[in-house]
A and B are shown apart, each in its own frame.
Chain A
Amino acid sequence: MTRSASNHSLHVGRWLGWTLATLLPLGFILLFFVWPVVSLVATGLTNDGQLDLSGIPEVFGDARTWQVIGQTILQAVGSTVISLLLGLPAAYVLYRLDFPGRAFLRGFLTVPFVLPTVVVGTAFTALLGPGGPLEWLGLDRSFVAIIIALAFFNVTVVARTVGGFWARLDDSAAMAARVMGAGRVRAWLTVTFPALVPALASAAALVFLFSSTSFGIVLILGGREFANVETEIYRLTVQFLDLRSAAVLSLAQFVIVGLALTVSARLRSSGERAVELRAEAPQGQREKRPGIADLPALVMFGATVLILHALPILTLLGRSLRAADGSWSFGNYAALFSSADLPIEGTVLESIWLSLRISCVAAAIAMFLGVLIALVLSRRPGSDVLRRGMSLFDGLVMLPLGVSAVTLGFGLLLTMNKPLGIGFDLRTSVALIPIAQALVALPLVVRTLLPVLRSIDQRLRFAATSLGASPLAVLRTIDLPMVGRSAGLALGFAFAASLGEFGATSFLVRPGEQTLPVVIAQLIGHQAPGSYGAGLAGAVVLGALTAAVMLVADRLRADRIGSEFRGEF
């Protein structure tokens, strides 16, 4: 074989490899996400097969629509501001200070992120409502209660995103400012804070995205007065079968989510550039022991953990340990093992086991596709067209985070009747559950892996290639080891996200297979004696499982200082 022929087949092989790596995940997203969502929206916007857009001016002419859109934006902005204010001290304490129990606290803070919203909503009502320990604040049924509950979920996002970035920040400029006579506060405000801005902005965009599409919390704590676009789509679809109005609101949601994603991508890429300007992981810079000067941050963080996170979780824990007559007992936990008395099929234990198995499959799908996507997106092609295509692809991967579970669930129902010539009705198959969960977990996997891959110096790859390494050898010796470093964390996130996934799963037609979150929702909504208590115990188990998964995932991270989150979630 001649040299040029081997070069040629190498080139073709590489081209084929990348095309395949792009097409596989793209096909998955188009088939299981884009097609169903577009189909449902199209159903709402057609009338007897004819495109009928008259619903758009009609729905936007309704004052209620603007009230809902306004509420969505107000709530998302409010929650973003609170999450940033509380998340910044948390990021500092968890990622810049060294103290015993830090790993546990990092794990604990991920629990809120995956707790079933119906349980959290009930816990917050118990806390702020009539007879609750914080009733005197007068926050029950208020806008403030909603944004505090949203912050409960999102402070973690800020702490993780900003903290990972902060841990890698080179201190020398701040040190220099101190040496030149700037006070601690001034040095922080003029040197450290501006450096953190890209990470803060990127975290803000994510929190805005999560908050603007929040469903359970807004439905329970907000009611109709504080409804957002997501809960309104739910009501229009599930209660009224008004697909036309729901479709128009879905379009409004696409616009809001699209804007949040665009802003987030912009801020992220500027953040990545900023990191590249700095040296790699600061040499010899270590987290310090907390000192007197750290007291304000520690107090803020302590208050956040105790009041915002621990209090609702302890309320939940306390209730799960009390019998119906108010006495302390483990009866609710014992009920998880028995098949009698509870209005569900089998035992809660069986649904835990089922959830774990489904999450394994979902996490495997999400990891496999996520690694491919991250590898593709970490390339820096010379051509403008390719670059633009890649940023579109990036946005597409993120979309499942921002589209209503009702829209996806009903869309899957419309489209998955023996799709692509598959011999069986996928709509009523258990296979659809891990597929939907993988869609939800996919953005988290990509967002965890991508920054690590992007931080690889491009020159390293060029050098390897010019020394004769094949593209596959480059992948194997440079990229994959880097992926391996954060794979544990990504896998943990994927697993935890699908373990706690409720929205999409509950809207699928389930063949008698109830996952743990679905069972919890059923139990706490049932009048059978002991059902509510068992549901709360199940919620505690779900939270504990998730915390355990995240703690292990945090430990699996090979290099403890270097491959933290950096400016991305």
Chain B
Amino acid sequence: MTHIHARARRAMFAPIVFVAAVSLALSGCSTDSQAGATEKDSKKVTLVVHDSFPNKEFAAAASKATGYDVKVISAGDGGELTNKLVLTKGAPIADAFFGVDNTFASRVVDNDVVEAYVPAGLPKSAADYAFDNKGSLTPVDVGATCINIDTGWFKDRGIAEPQNYEDLTAPKYRDLTVLLDPTASSTGASFLTGTVSEFGEDGFADYWQKLVDNGARIEQGWTEAYNGQFTKGGGDGTKPIVVSYSSSPAFTTNDDGTATTTKALLDTCSNQIEYAGVLAGATNQAGAKAVLDYLVSSEFQETIPDAMYMYPMDAEVKLPANWAEFAPMPTKGQLHDLPSAKIEQGREGWLRTLSDKIGL
């Protein structure tokens, strides 16, 4: 009788033991790699970032520079990150964040997700990218969405290169352009902002209609457009005109790095500014501020082109040589930008107009 009992007990407890073992194993491996800071541990600070961030390198360098134990966690692309921050308002998943761009910046500020803070040692050039004068958000880097072209393709065929938005609707560039769906891609949304800035809220949809009438192909995301359809994208693409970044030509250089095969049309750009901030209700406010200080320090700013393929916000930082040559930033006069608040306010309506008009 007793042995049946013993076995029954063993059989019943085996699952519990197993679950306990698994959860112990998991929590064991999570204590050294997980992020959630406890109140007691004031040396630990957590930064939540978008997907294209050098997490480990940053954690090591920032820990050394700030004296805090810096942890980094990823939360998807810029839009996803923004929404996760809004959803977890009140019980933030980290102390500070980086990677919300000007398309979504108003959303985090309007939802009271951030605590204003102006980092110590903020470079002067940051003023050009300030979100507001309270320091709600700290600009860290900047990129530009621009039309890119395959220069060799046009040369081989003796066709003049397009220069601006209007050119893309001309008959000689028929069926050559790849755009990004602005409802699905943040890069696409940035290009849409540029066209709204250029043609106005009443005129941008007409422009898009002309693009589509001229045979423009609209892909879901940057990968499908650039790597799938563009002639210089590493695949077997057939279209020589594509929406990409002003920095893209620095990646299509020849082997000895003396020339590039593509070019960004600097008159078709709009800026994507990436912001960082302190999260309201953060367990380690002081640590969060230290991390922001480090993000704007020249030590980190210098690593931005190579690590994130964006331009540093600090104008004093020297760009890598091939960037200076092949990937110049568009000048202020060339840019087609809108204030973040206007983007947040208008975006859904623009997308609706566009989908009514061209069936996106």
In the complex, which residue of chain A has the Cβ closest to the Cβ of B252?
A529
The answer to whether the Cβ of A35 comes within 8 Å of any Cβ in the partner chain is no
Q: Is A1's CB within 8 Å of the partner chain B? A: yes
Interface residues of A in 396-437 (CB under 8 A from B): 410, 413-414, 417, 423-425, 427-431, 434
Complex interface bits, A444-471 against B, C-beta within 8 A gives 1, otherwise 0:
0000000000000000000000000010
Determine if A50 is an interface residue (Cβ-Cβ < 8 Å).
Answer: no
Convert B239-268 into 0s and 1s, putting 1 for each residue whose CB lies closer than 8 angstroms to a CB of A. Answer: 100001101100110000000000000000
Q: Which of B188-221 contact A (CB under 8 A)?
A: 217-218, 220-221
Q: Contacting A522 at CB < 8 Å: which of B27, B51, B93, B228?
A: B51
Q: Could you tell me if A343 and B309 are in contact, using CB atoms closer than 8 angstroms? A: yes
Collect the chain A residues with CB atoms within 8 Å of residue B251's CB. Answer: 527-529
The residue in chain A whose Cβ has the minimal distance to the Cβ of B83 is: A241
Min Cβ gap B345→A in Å is: 13
B36 touches A424 (CB 8 A): yes
Q: How far is the CA of A289 from the CA of B282 in the complex (A)?
A: 69
Whether A507 contacts B76 by the Cβ 8 Å rule is: yes
Interface contact B220-A512, CB-CB below 8 Å? no
CA distance A126 to B223 in the complex (A): 12
In whole angstroms, how far apart are the Cα atoms of A470 and B3 in the complex?
Answer: 12
A219 adjacent to chain B (CB < 8 Å): yes
Interface pair A219/B220, CB less than 8 Å apart: yes
Given A1-B1, A430-B30, A512-B72: A525 and B222 interface contact (C-beta under 8 Å): yes
Residue in B218, B234, B309 whose beta carbon sits within 8 Å of that of A532 in the complex? B234
Q: Tell me if A365 counts as interface (CB < 8 A to partner B).
A: yes
Stretch at the interface among A76-84, A220-228, A253-261, A553-561: A220-228
Q: Do residues A223 and B360 form an inter-chain contact, with CB atoms below 8 A?
A: yes
Q: Are A219 and B15 in touch, CB under 8 angstroms?
A: no
Once the chains bind, are A121 and B34 in contact (CB under 8 Å)? Answer: no
Given A20-B15, A361-B26, check contact A428 B46 (CB 8 Å). Answer: yes
> Are B229 and A224 interface neighbours, CB within 8 A?
no
Chain B nearest CB from A289 CB (Å) reads 42
Number of interface residues of B (CB under 8 A): 83
Candidate in A219, A423, A527, A533 with the most chain B CB atoms within 10 angstroms: A527
A552 within 8 A of B: no
Residue of A at shortest CB range from B46?
A428
Q: Are A365 and B184 interface neighbours, CB within 8 A?
A: no
Q: Say if the beta carbon of B157 comes within 8 Å of chain A.
A: no
A264 to chain B, nearest CB (A): 29
Q: Mark A495-520, 1 if CB is under 8 A from B, else 0.
A: 00000000000110111111000000
Q: Which of A85-126 contact B (CB under 8 A)?
A: 118, 121-122, 125-126
User: Separation in Å of the B207 CB from the closest CB of chain A?
Assistant: 19
A51 within 8 A of B: no
- Which residues of A lie under 8 Å from residue B228 when comparing CB positions? 122, 125-126, 129
Residues 291-307 (chain A) with a chain B CB within 8 angstroms: none
Taking a contact as CB atoms under 8 Å apart, the answer to whether B22 and A429 are in contact is no
CB distance from B49 to the nearest CB of A (A): 9
Decide if A287 is an interface residue (CB 8 Å cutoff).
no
Pair B359/A532 contact, Cβ less than 8 Å: no
Mark B2-26 against chain A: 1 for CB-CB distance below 8 A, else 0. Answer: 0011011001100100110011011
12 A-B pairs whose Cβ atoms sit less than 8 Å apart in the complex: A121-B224, A224-B183, A238-B80, A241-B83, A361-B25, A364-B22, A368-B15, A413-B93, A428-B73, A430-B33, A511-B30, A527-B248
Q: Other than the known A223-B218, A239-B183, A429-B27, what 11 A-B pairs have Cβ atoms closer than 8 Å?
A: A13-B4, A122-B223, A126-B228, A130-B217, A224-B183, A235-B184, A425-B35, A507-B80, A510-B75, A524-B227, A532-B234
List residues of chain B with CB under 8 Å of any chain A CB. 1, 4-5, 7-8, 11-12, 15, 18-19, 22-23, 25-27, 29-31, 33-36, 38, 46, 48, 51-52, 54-57, 59, 71-76, 79-80, 82-84, 86-88, 91, 93-94, 107, 181, 183-184, 217-218, 220-224, 226-229, 233-239, 244-245, 247-248, 251-252, 307, 309, 348, 355, 359-360
